[in-house]
Structure 1
Amino acid sequence: MEKLGRSSVLILPNLSLIQVACARLKQPWQGLRIASVHNRDAGEWSVGAGPEHGLHELLQVLVREKLVGVLTSPENTPGRIARMLLAEGVAGDFEMAVAECLLQDGECIHDWMDVTVVSQRGFAEPNVVLVRRCAVSRDALFGLEDARFDQRKPDKGLITKREVRAVSLARMALQRDSVVWDIGAGSGSVGLEAARLCTQGHVYAIEKNTEDGAIILRNRASLQVTNYTLVQGKAPAGLAEWPDPDAVFIGGSGGELRELIQICLARLSPGGHLVMNFATLENLGTALECLAASATVWDVTQLQAARSRPILEMHRLQAENPVWILCAEKPVSEAGGV
């Protein structure tokens, strides 16, 4: 088009296979989103896989949209797509229809089916798939209550409380496509809420405690978050393998705070934000020393919320522990290093 010019080109439109499939199924398609996995063999889906996996983009589209038409390939089949939904624990929210060999002698339409059925069947090539979401989460998009997250018991508290979480997420200045690091993930509350906000991005989290790691995975499944990768280990080990972040949250440092701040500031995208929560003066002081030696702009907010509690037939306020929220922004003009 660029070489010949628009006036020299005549485009003859035709029906797409997705349109034909919708017509065969008597399915309105004006609200349909088209996706494609008609490319290289992506391999079977693994829970927690990142954007490097060939099915990652499709999965994010499926969990966002109500109706998706998918162009498949001989390797990336309807069954593989169904097994991905099963692995993520969201299969019960979807149903699938498959149209085989459209406009050919062997045309066959498989009307709406359970995802489990599709996962166990083979279909003639070429085919297209329609995926329809039947159930929609009623969870709030932002500011989930603490009880929505599984937490370690009996010693509760390894969760960023809702009031602090809301302010921390706001200060991270997230975009829909942000890459986020969550270091010292605890129960996963901050990173999982970030993933739900960054629908076209991805969250990479690390947690050293194995029990907390299991809790994070349960919360991930419960919230049906699919753009979240958990690494079980102690930071900074493993951070070098992650893509550069647009935002970083440090909720726990495991005694490596200085090194973590240096790494995060070096890797943070220009204009990106580093947000840290501290409950102790010592850790706050250490972080301030590190930031003072850098070129970042920073500020501190102390947040202490009080929640109502019943007392007889009345209510009183019970204070939560005060938390310092330390925020640093990497200058946009800074191309690299700190």
Structure 2
Amino acid sequence: MDKQRITIIGIGMGDSGNMTGTGKALLSGAGLVTGAGRMLEACGLQEGSTEERDVIRAYEPEKICRALKNSQKKEAAVLMSGDSGFYSGTKKLLEALENYREEVKEWREVSVYVEPGISSLSYFASRLQIPWDDAAVISLHGRKDNLLSAVKRSRKTFLLTGGQTSEICRELTEGGLGDVMVCAGSRLSYPDEHIVKCPAKDWQAAGIPSGQEDSLTVLFLLNEKPERFLMTGIPEECFVRGQVPMTKSEVRAVIMSKLAVREDDVIYDIGAGTGSVSVELALAAGRGQVFAVECDPEGISLIRQNGEKFGCHNLTAVEGMAPEALTGLPAPDAVFIGGTKGRLDPILDAIPGKNRSVRICISAVTMETVSQAIQCMEKKNMRNMDACQIGVTRLRPVGGLHMLQAQNPIFLLWGDMTV
């Protein structure tokens, strides 16, 4: 049985001078080297084969594994940009290498090691001479994160821009954050490294020159006046309102606690109304997706307006009636059902998934709806099933006095359903 040692090497920012000493030693001893073109070029390598070394241009995990399988070299190196653990392709590659190791286990013993590199975050922070341990970190490389909420509540936000610096500064300015200081670094570690500092509102006048604002640009956003930014129980007056009913802030806070939303969850809000619950779900699942399903055209408009107001790029308004409107949506981790038009049972049947647990929370204002919900939940054999009734009483001034005014009570029912 032959042996093959694979080392994933983070080469740092791009200039090979930033590679660690261990990384350089591992690279020099590798008989097979693979990596994207920019990685190979940074290390002074060209695609091709010699007696000592094979160099293959590849960044797709499948192509890298194919090259490893076909190679007889005992030492192999895969080059990755930046740090192997920071928004790196290393994660997917490690998964692919596990499958590769299983595939060849009958005739080859494969060992995998990871050598970290210098990340764009630590490099740029050192250039700016600021600590980064208190920074919020966001990537917009093929992702939809909630930029405004992160910047509003953070003194420092580090951003991988995906080449969207101008759009980011425009969004900050329109969102009332035009005075936030933008520190932009482009082509870091290369000879043409370029750093710009200016308020977001002045970016167009002082930004990175045309042609240099590319996917390698990173930002530090410095906010001297971070806010105490509410992410749940947001007051009703903060939302754009119309004639569509809105869930009260206190009820929303309980809904959020029962759904126990995680950062990367996919969530449905069925019967979303104005989108007040949808917005809070989107803020909590900043790296996930929220689909707000609503049949009222006015409601759809309000959902989009409120999503834009709170900077929720991960919130999608879906116009139509459930369950039909759920067709084609990705499988959810959690579902809030605020309106069913009497179709709760088929809605629960239509939630997509494959032997996975989904957290369900249902609101009801009539006893008939509560009864129907309990029957449906028991029929679906929901686990951890429970319910509560919420009665909110608010203070109201009357002349020179104050009195308590009761709001309409609402029922919440929740449980875990296997779909």
Cα deviation, residue 329, structure 1? 1.8
Q: Aligned with 2:402: secondary structure? A: strand
Larger radius of gyration: 2
Could you say what secondary structure the match of 1:238 adopts?
helix
TM-score, with structure 1 as normaliser: 0.73
The residue that corresponds to 1:193 in the other structure is 280
Rounded to whole Å, the distance in 2 between the matches of 1:309 and 1:32 is: 41
Q: What is the match of residue 172 of structure 1? A: 259
Partners of 1:181 and 1:261 lie apart in 2 by: 12
Distance 1:14 1:286 in 2: 57
> Which runs of no fewer than 5 residues in structure 1 stay unpaired?
43-53
Matches within 5 A, 1:274-289: 274-289=360-375
Q: Distance in 1 between matches of 2:157 and 2:131?
A: 12
Distance in 2 separating the partners of 1:163 and 1:292: 27
In the alignment, structure 2 segments of 5+ residues that lack a partner are: 8-20, 25-115
Matched, 1:235 2:322: yes
Hey, what's the Cα distance between the residues in 1 that align with 2:314 and 2:215? Answer: 29
2 CA distance for matches of 1:291 and 1:315? 42
* Cα distance between partner residues in 1 of 2:354 and 2:387: 19
> Does the C-alpha gap of structure 1 residues 312 and 177 become closer, same or farther in structure 2, counting only changes over 3 Å?
same
Q: How many residues align?
A: 305
Aligned counterpart in structure 2 of residue 138 of structure 1, from 220, 228, 231: 228
Distance (Å, rounded) in 1 between the aligned partners of 2:208 and 2:342 = 46
Return the match for 2:343 from 249, 256, 267. 256
| Post-superposition offset of 1:305 | 2.1
The equivalent of 2:240 in structure 1 is 150
CA distance in 2, matches of 1:152, 1:122: 44
Letter in 2 for 1:276: I
Partner of 1:204: helix, strand, or coil? strand
CA contact (8 A) 2:148 2:311 kept: no
Distance 1:127 1:309 in 2: 55
By how many angstroms is 1:126 displaced? 8.7
Q: SS where residue 327 of structure 2 aligns?
A: helix
SS at match of 2:252: helix
**How large is the RMSD of aligned CA atoms in angstroms?**
3.7
Residue equivalent to 2:68: none
Query: How do residues 121-132 of structure 1 correspond to structure 2 at under 5 angstroms?
Result: 121-123=210-212, 127-132=216-221
Question: How far does residue 321 in structure 1 lie from its aligned partner after superposition?
Answer: 1.3
CA spacing shift, 1:10–1:161, aligned 2, 3 Å? same
Q: What residue in structure 2 maps to residue 181 of structure 1?
A: 268
**Cα separation, partners in 2 of 1:106 and 1:262, compared to 1, 3 Å:** closer
Letter in 2 for 1:56: K
- How many Å apart are 1:250 and its aligned residue? 0.7
The whole-number CA distance in structure 1 between the counterparts of 2:137 and 2:410 is 45
Instruction: Give the match for residue 48 of structure 1.
Output: none
Per the alignment, in what secondary structure is the counterpart of residue 252 of structure 1? Answer: coil
TM-score (norm 2): 0.61
Rate the CA distance shift 1:93–1:300 in 2: closer, same or farther, 3 A.
farther
> Counterpart in 1 of 2:376?
290
Specify whether residues 104 and 126 from structure 1 end up closer, same or farther in structure 2 by C-alpha distance, changes over 3 A only: farther
User: Matched residues in 2 for 1:20 and 1:306: separation?
Assistant: 53
1:249, 1:112 → 2: CA distance? Answer: 42
* Superposed displacement of residue 224, structure 1: 2.6
Q: Deviations over 1:76-133 (max 9, x none)?
A: 42xx243255358546365433444455554443333536524983317795322314
- % of aligned pairs identical? 28
Q: Is the Cα contact below 8 Å between 2:146 and 2:283 reproduced in 1?
A: no
